[in-house]
Structure 1
Amino acid sequence: MRGGLWRIAEMCARCAAATTGCRVLDTAPPPARTAPAGTGQAAGKPGAQRDPSDGTVGHGAAAVFSDHGPSPAAGAASAPTSVPRARADSPRVSRRAKRWGKIAQRIVPHDLQPDVLRMELIELGDAFRAYQQRTEPDLALLAGLHERKARAFAWWAEVSGDGALRHEAKRAEKAAQTTREMHANRGGQTAGDTTGGNQPAVGDKAGGNQQGVERLLTRPQGVHARAVLDYVAAHSPHPEVEVRLAVLMLTLRAARAGTGNVTGQDLIGWLQDDAERVLGRLVSGGWLRLPGTVAEVMASRPEDPTEVTVPTLLPEQPRPFTFGKTTRARISGRAQKVVGDRKIRMKKLGAATRLLALYTAAHARPDDRLGRAEDGGLHLDQAAAFTALPPEEIAEHAGLLITADWLAEADTAGDRLRGQLAERVLPLGGLL
C-alpha cells in the first residue's frame, strides 16, 4: 500500500489468523523431530544468502525467521506448512485507522494536526449522523454535540486561520443555546433554577394519601399558568380546537419576547395531521409570522429550529404577562408534558381532549380534586369556553381522560365538572 506504514512481527499461525489486517509473508519450517536418516536436508536450498558484510538479504530472498533455518517457500523439496486464512478486515474501522471524515459538509483533512483535533472532528461527524438516524429526539444529547462542535471548530479555525470555520463555531454555539432552551421548554427546567421561590411545591392529599407529592409548578407559577389559559381563550384568532391548541403552545414559547423556537416535530406532536393546515391558517390570518414558508417550518428539526414571531406579544405591545424567564420555561415545559403525555398519545386523543387535560390539571386543588372547594367543581361553561366545546360535550371528553388514566373519576351532574386527577399525573396539578 503506497504511503502506508507496515510492521513486521513474528508470531504463531493462530495469532496471525486472528489478527485483523495481517498478511502472512512466509511460514517457518516445523520444529525438528526424529526423522529417518537422510531427510534433514530435504528442505532444499535457500533462495538467497545473507551477506555477512552488510547484513542485507539479496534480491529474491524469502523471509528468514529467528531459528535461522531456511524458509520452505524458497526451497523446492518440501511444501510450506498450511496455516489458517487471515480474517478479512472488519467493516468497522477503528479510531486509530480512520484518517479522514466529514462534518457539516466539510472534509476533515487526513493530515490535519494536531491529531486529537482531527479525531474529534471525525467522531463528531459520525455522532451527528448517528443522531439523525434516531427515531426520537434527545435535545440534551444534541446540545452537547453542538457544544463539542463549537469548541472543535474554534480550534480548527485557530490552527488553520480559516475565518469561515470561526463563523461555523459561533453558529454551533448559538445552536447549542437554542437547543438547551428547547429542552427547557419541553421539560420545564432551567439551569440554575434553585432560588427565588422556583422550587417545586410539595403538597399532601387530604386523608393522608400521597404524602409529599413533588409538583412541577409552585403555587405562584400555577397562577401564571391559569393566566395564560385565560388569555388564550380570550384572544385566540379562531374558535377551532386545533387552532386553540396551537395558539396556546406558541403563546407559551413566545410569551416573553414575542418570538420562540419551534420545529416540525413539535407541531406534529401537538396536532398530528392537522399541523400544516393549522399553521397556514395562523399565518394567513396574521397572528403568526414566519421567516420562510410553512413547508420549511414543517421540515425543521431540533438541530435547526425555526424562530417564529407572535406580533401581539412583541415587547412594544402591551404586556399581557408579568412572569420571568424561569416561570415561562416551567409553564411551557409543563404544557408540553401534558400535550405529549404518553397515554394520551397512545389513545390518540384529539385537540379538544388535550385542552381539557390542560384545563383540569391547571385547576386542581392540593388534594387533587377539580375546582375550588367552595365552587363544588369546575364550571362547565368555563371549561367549554376554553376547550371550544359545547358544555354538553365536556362529559364525553372527561370520559376519554378517564380511559387515558388522566382523571381518576369525573361527574358532570348539574353545571359542574367534578372529579380528581389520577395518581400518575399528580405532579402536574396546578395547585389552586
Structure 2
Amino acid sequence: MNMTWLTGSVSEILDAIMLEEKEPKDQAALDNNVSAIIQEVRTLGDQAVKEYTEEFDGVTLDDLIVSEDIITEAFERIEPEVQQALECAKENILSYHTHQLEQGFIDFPQTGVMRGQKIVPLTRVGVYVPGGTASYPSSVLMNVLPAKIAGVKEIVMFTPPPKDGVFNAAILVAARLAGVDTIYQVGGAQAIAAAAYGTQTIRPVDKIVGPGNRFVATAKKQVFGKVGIDMIAGPSEIGILAQAGANPAYLAADLLSQAEHDTFARAFLVTDSKELGEAVEKEVFAQLQTLPRKEIAQQAIVEQGKIILASSVSEMFTLMNALAPEHLEIAFEDAMSYLDQVENAGSVFLGPFTSEPIGDYLAGTNHVLPTSGTARFASALGVHDFVKRIQYVSYTKEAVQQASQAIQVLANKEGLAGHARAVAMREEQK
C-alpha cells in the first residue's frame, strides 16, 4: 500500500487531482428522496418527522423535545475531566470570537445626508449535530457560541435519537454549557425540513448550521433560500507544507488526524523534498498500525492521500492556494513570515508544533470550515454568520434637490420613469 505521488507542472498536478472529484452516481436519486422527505414534513409536520425517525433511526418518538430530566442526567453521567475540557474550550472560543463583533456606523457625507449601517442578530438559529461516530461535542460549542456572542435570541439544536435511548452525555452537556435553548431529538433530512418549514412542535428557524451526512447536506442545499445555511460541508481535508528537516512523525500524525474522520477524507503533503516525502509516507503506514480507526484512515490515505513534489517554496504555496484546503499547516520554523503567501485556506496552523487538532479543540478558532476548495470564496464559521447588516439613509428636502438631477438621469436611462418621478415630485415641492 502506498500514498499517491504527484509531480510535474502546477497545472498537471491540479488536473490529476480534479479528475478524482466526481459527483456520486446516486446523487440524482438522493436529491429526489430528500425532496420527498421535505415535502412530506411540510405537509404532515410532526407525524412525518416521527414516521421518518422510526424508519431511518429505528426509534419511536412520543416527544420530539429532549426533556430537562435527560439533560440533568447527562451532567451526572459525564466524566468530570470531559466537562472541564469543554468548559476550557468554551472560554477560549468565547475570547477569540468576541473579537469578531461588528459595530454599526453612521456618517454625514454632506449637508442634509445621513447614511449608516446597523448590525442586527438573527432571531432563531437551528444547529444540527450528527449522531453516531460523527457526534462531536466540540462542534456543538463551535456552532453555538458564535451565535450567542452575536446576540441570537433563540438557539435550538437537532440531533438524532439514540436507539438505546441513552444520549452521548457530552453532546447534551456541551449544548447546555453553550446556551442552547431547546434540543430536538430529530435527525436526518426530516430535521432540516422541520427546521426550515416548522411543524406543530418545532417553530421554523432563520438559519441552519452544523455538519451532517449526505442526506443532511442535500436537505440543507434544497431548503436554502427558505432559510440561510452555513455551508455544504464535504469530507474533512488537510494540506501540509513542509521542507527538508521537518519531523516526519509529526507530519504523518497530522495527516492521519484528518484521515481518521472518514474514508473520503483528503490529506495532502506538499514538499520540495523527495526524501521527506518518503519518510512521511513510511511513518504514515507505521502509525496506522496502532490507530483505533485504522480501517477508515487507511482507506482515506490510500485512496485520497497525496504527496506532492514541488520545485520550490513558491510553487508549494501556488499549489496549496489552488487546492484551498480546509486546514493548512505551514510546518516551517519561520512559518509566520510566510503567512502573507496564503490566499486560500479555511484555517492556518503556523509552525511545527501547531498541529491541526489544537484548532479542533482548544485554541478558540473555529473548526467549522469551508471544504472541497470552497475556501477560495468562503470563511470559517463566525459571529458574522449570525447577524444581518441593515443599511439606512436619510435625505432632507434640500439634499434631494441637489441629488435629483443625477438620480433622474440614471432612472430614465434604465427606462424606469416611475423612479425618476418619485424623486422629481419631492424636488418640486416648495
The TM-score bracket by the shorter chain reads: under 0.3
Q: TM-score, normalised by structure 2?
A: 0.22
Return the index of the structure with the highest Cα Rg.
1
1 or 2, which has the higher strand percentage?
2
Q: TM-score, normalised by structure 1?
A: 0.22
